């Protein structure tokens, strides 16, 4: 990325990408995956994209007057959600051993477990504590493919297994 292109990228997003570019997703790093995707995309697609911005939200309830305004609003919405997820909620990118991608609390670390407890619709990050069968809840996670009851459906289909962990005996 040259200096002119770097100036068009939100600084928080640029820092996040720099910190995560070596993350392995399958056999590739995040950076090589994106480089491959970009190299296989028609370059004219990028010409039509609006430059990234992070403007204050409009107070007006009227719809945007032009498609350029709508595209700019889409970029602002993405950056606003990114800021909310990464900064305010302190989430970071994660990949499970099986290759599922998601967002985990910043306190999560290698070796923690991603679990879906019955009755809980959101995956949790748990950490084994000591030598006993004790667990510490690190926090909620987003795991693509396991957010809205998908885990229960996978257990019913036999793709995933229910394990009675004895966490609450």
Q: Which residue has the higher pLDDT, 50 or 117?
A: 117
Query: Which of 41-45, 53-57, 86-90, 116-120 shows the lowest mean pLDDT across its residues?
Result: 53-57
Spans of all domains in the chain? 3-88, 101-157
Structure tokens at 157: 């289909």
To the question of pTM greater than 0.85 for the whole model, the response is: no
Q: Which residue has the higher pLDDT, 49 or 31?
A: 31
Question: What is the arithmetic mean of pLDDT over 126-139?
Answer: 87
Residue 108, pLDDT score: 93
The 10s digit of each residue's pLDDT in 46-102 is 777 666 555 544 444 445 545 555 555 666 777 787 777 777 777 888 998 888 899
Does residue 3 carry a pLDDT above 90?
no
Average pLDDT, the chain: 76
């Amino acid at each position: 990325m040259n200096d002119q292109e770097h100036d068009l990228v939100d600084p928080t997003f640029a820092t996040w990408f720099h910190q995560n570019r070596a993350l392995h997703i399958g056999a590739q790093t995040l950076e090589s995956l994106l480089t491959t995707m970009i190299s296989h995309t028609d370059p004219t697609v990028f010409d039509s994209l609006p430059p990234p911005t992070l403007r204050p939200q409009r107070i007006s309830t009227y719809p945007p007057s032009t498609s350029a305004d709508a595209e700019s609003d889409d970029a602002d919405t993405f950056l606003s959600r990114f800021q909310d997820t990464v900064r305010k909620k302190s989430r970071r990118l994660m990949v499970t051993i099986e290759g599922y991608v998601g967002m985990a609390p910043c306190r999560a670390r290698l070796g923690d477990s991603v679990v879906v407890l019955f009755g809980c619709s959101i995956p949790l990050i748990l950490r084994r504590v000591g030598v006993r069968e004790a667990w510490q809840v690190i926090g909620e996670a987003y795991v693509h493919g396991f957010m809205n009851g998908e885990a229960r459906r996978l257990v019913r289909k036999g793709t995933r297994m229910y394990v009675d962990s004895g966490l609450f005996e």
